Amino acid sequence: MKIGVMREEAVRQAGMALPIVLVLLAMAVMLGVAGLRSSLTAERLAGNLKASVQAGMAAEAAASTGWAALDGPDDITVEQSRGALEAMTWSEFIDPSRFQGETVVLDDCAAPLRCAYRYVEEGARHRLIVAMGVVMEGDERVLASSEPVLVAVVFSRLAELFSRYALLADGEVLTGEEAATEGRVHANAPRDEADRVAMPEVDVSPPEAAETLTLETDENGQPYCRFEASGDLAGRVYHCAGRLEIGEAARFHNATLIARDDVHLYGEAGQEATVDVAVLSGGDIDIETPGTLRGWFMSAGDTDLAVGVTLEGAILAHGNIHQPSGTVVRHLRGDPVLPHAPREKRLLSWGL
């Protein structure tokens, strides 16, 4: 009898083991599936994080390219608010219709990365380089996008004025009927105070690295310097402690000339379509160069152009500017050395 009972108990226990094993097996499968899903989720998160980091690095690279390519204030012509920029998606950022029709500048990012930058002005004199980067799947789908990188820049006051105006006078701009000017012209007199443009002082003291020109004495006993250099002057700065005479033999470019008194210019300055010459005078500037002259000119007094002169560059004068008939002024930007001015392009901030 006991043996029979034991057999029945053994059979009953064996019957119960199968469901238990099946339940344990199901739990193991569920745990395995959960672990697999967790691993896949972690992998996706890691992939998304990697894509986001790559997109951010692409945006930083594009911002760096934009900084290097930025020549002057006149490169920045589009207006947009910072709030709108910070909320933009990639498709909105590259859309010209949101930036007064200006096409975005695409940087050289290797696929699957794409990156681009823009120059934007936010209000008066707040200039930004804005860049974004994305990781693409094919040509259409964006896998990850960076936040906009905003780089704030500032230019020296002199560079801003030379970049915005062809002719700027604290007095009057007097032009003949047949004088031609391509660019913005402004005269402070006569004008209301609200319409005046603040003129920086003309500092004609010698910078530390300036080469001092030899002083001579003219027939009236007045000190003057003669300058007749030719070729590429390697960005050097020359200073004259009297009147500066730039003779007809002068054929130079890539230099800055500073004179305590008047400047009389008869020779040629500049090269091709590049403005790399600056002339600063503590008195008047008289330009009598035959043909084309290229440079930035700033005088503490008047600036006069002779008939037949073609100037490519800009003039700032604390007095009047005289542009008679038969002269041509074409506004060109450039990068001459401007002594005693802050660095022409300065980084204010860099970040999201």
Give the DSSP letter string of 281-331.
Answer: ESS-EEE--SEEEEEEEEESS-EEEPTTEEEEEEEEESS-EEE-TT-EEEE
Are 244 and 256 members of one domain?
Answer: yes
State percent of the chain over pLDDT 90: 61
The Cα–Cα gap between 255 and 273 comes to 15
* Residue 224 near residue 245, CB atoms below 8 Å: yes
Q: What integer pLDDT is reported at residue 124 of this predicted model? A: 57
CA diameter of the chain: 150
Are 68 and 98 members of one domain?
Answer: yes
Question: Half-sphere exposure of residue 330, counting CA atoms within 13 Å on the CB side?
Answer: 11
Q: What integer pLDDT is reported at residue 8 of this predicted model? A: 61
Are 198 and 59 members of one domain?
Answer: no
Model pLDDT for residues 28-53, shown as the tens digit of each residue:
777 766 666 655 555 554 557 788 88
How many independent structural domains does the chain possess?
2
pLDDT, mean of residues 55-76? 89
Q: What integer pLDDT is reported at residue 208 of this predicted model? A: 87
For the record, the structure tokens of 73 come out as: 């204030």
Asked which of 129, 155, 181 is the last residue of a domain, the reply is: 155
Closest CA relative to residue 264, chosen from 241, 253, 277, 248: 248
Model pLDDT for residues 223-275, shown as the tens digit of each residue:
999 999 999 999 999 999 999 999 999 999 999 999 999 999 999 999 888 78
State percent of the chain over pLDDT 70: 86
pLDDT, mean of residues 57-63? 93
Q: What integer pLDDT is reported at residue 277 of this predicted model? A: 95
**Considering the domain boundaries, does residue 343 fall inside one?**
no
Are 54 and 115 members of one domain?
Answer: yes
pLDDT, mean of residues 137-143? 85
Are 164 and 151 members of one domain?
Answer: no
Are 146 and 197 members of one domain?
Answer: no
Are 42 and 82 members of one domain?
Answer: yes
Model pLDDT for residues 89-139, shown as the tens digit of each residue:
999 999 999 999 999 999 989 889 999 999 998 875 688 999 999 999 887
Are 186 and 41 members of one domain?
Answer: no
**Considering the domain boundaries, does residue 213 fall inside one?**
yes
Helices first, then strands: H and E counts in the chain: 4, 26
Model pLDDT for residues 152-192, shown as the tens digit of each residue:
888 888 888 888 899 999 999 999 999 999 999 999 998 88
Expressed as residue numbers, the domain containing 71 is: 1-155
Are 65 and 179 members of one domain?
Answer: no
Are 146 and 170 members of one domain?
Answer: no
Q: Whole-structure pTM over 0.85, yes or no? A: no
Only one residue has tokens 């002199």, namely 158
Average pLDDT, the chain: 87
Model pLDDT for residues 304-318, shown as the tens digit of each residue:
999 999 999 999 999
**Considering the domain boundaries, does residue 120 fall inside one?**
yes
